Amino acid sequence: MNDLKTPDVRPDNPRFSSGPCAKRPGWTPEALRDAPLGRSHRAKIGKAKLKQAIDKTRSVLGVPADYRIGIVPASDTGAVEMALWSLLGARGVDMLAWESFGAGWVTDVVKQLKLANARTLTAPYGELPDLGAIDFNNDVVFTWNGTTSGVRVPNADFIPADRQGLTICDATSAAFAQKLDFSKLDVVTFSWQKVLGGEGGHGVLILGPRAVERLESYQPAWPLPKIFRLTKGGKLIEGIFAGETINTPSMLCVEDYLDALSWAESLGGLDALVARADANAAVIHRFVESRDWVANLAQRPETRSNTSVCLVITDPEISSLSEEQQSAFAKSMVSRLDKQAVAFDIGAYRDAPAGLRIWCGGTVETSDLEALMPWLDWAFEAEKAALA
């Protein structure tokens, strides 16, 4: 192992974590110099910053004018929970799960909300459920991009325009890297700590007209904590969607998000961000196709993520080991790369099959991924030699 030569080139930025993700290229703390620190978010300057974040989000993502956008607490998790607890129960619900976060929403609906009319459609890691089996007379909850499996829906064609139920989409690893068809989505959530590399703790909740109509015409049977309440007196609290947040946001994090949005605009907006993610993911896909020791966890090319690319080790010798040994092998590879400071935080998610997960969103430079690929070979060969 000590004789195995390390690659000559190293990534300039070894940050390939799937969240919080790498900051935009060229970021420094100086980007936050205009943050209104020590000022109330309810002051004129605080409201203006929050409203600017909402307006820039609409512009970059192409959110329709009649959709509301709100900044909410507790990251994407908080945004999804607000939607589930506020909207579900009016009719049946189809829950889609093919990775850990989707499975988490199933747990909330089945075990916490205890909805008897919930139906679960699942698939193992690497695959999608049968999208043709969804009953759109029900509400439908799904992740657009499965962060922990690297499997995404290829498009929104499976959603009918004349659906009766609401579509609630967790898009946290898709927004700003994949095209979202808002005409097919009634609720969209994400966290800016993902594709734009923002700081953790804040979520974004986007509501279409059909979701607003549900909120104003339906009262859930369960009590709602203050942090989940989107209506008052049967009417939407419009201030939430104009920068009047439910609780106190970090104006430092808001400033950071504004900086990331301005960077996205400078590139050319959403099309440029998608192109960057596509180019990044293509580096890994080409590498995998030319190697026999590793494979993409996502089974079908059209469902492979361009952000959270998940890989499994397929070398026959390693595949013949127990699950525990395979997991240890992959973790040792990750540790070697970390110690070399060429790749941080690229281990598979704890509930996912053993392997690697490499973030490819637009804040990552393609050249860094190209530099990383030979190091994957090195780490594999070094760890396999250690087994001998």
- Let me know the angle formed at the C-alpha of 327 by 359 and 380, rounded to the nearest 5 degrees: 65
Q: How many residues does the chain have?
A: 388
Give the DSSP H/E element, type plus range, for residue 97: strand 93-97
Strand partners, 15: 344
In whole angstroms, give the CA distance from residue 85 to residue 231. Answer: 13
CATH number of 29-265: 3.40.640.10
- Whole-model pTM: value is 0.97
Residue 3 has pLDDT above 80, yes or no: no
Span 96-113, mean pLDDT? 97
pLDDT one-digit tens code per residue, 10-65: 999 999 999 999 999 999 999 999 999 999 999 999 999 999 999 999 999 999 99
Query: Are the C-beta atoms of 54 and 202 separated by less than 8 Å?
Result: no
What is the band of 292 on the pLDDT scale with cuts at 50, 70, 90? very high
Q: What is the DSSP letter of 344?
A: B
Span 216-220, mean pLDDT? 98
In whole angstroms, give the CA distance from residue 100 to residue 15. Answer: 23
- CB neighbour list of residue 108: distance below 8 Å, 6 or more residues apart: 81, 84
pLDDT one-digit tens code per residue, 165-193: 999 999 999 999 999 999 999 999 999 99
pLDDT one-digit tens code per residue, 8-20: 999 999 999 999 9
Query: Which tokens is 180 given?
Result: 């979202």
Domain boundaries, the chain: 29-265, 269-387
In whole angstroms, give the CA distance from residue 102 to residue 96. Answer: 7
Percent of the chain that is helix, strand, coil (3-state, to 5): 40, 15, 45
Give, in words, the CATH class of 269-387: alpha beta
What is the band of 1 on the pLDDT scale with cuts at 50, 70, 90? very low
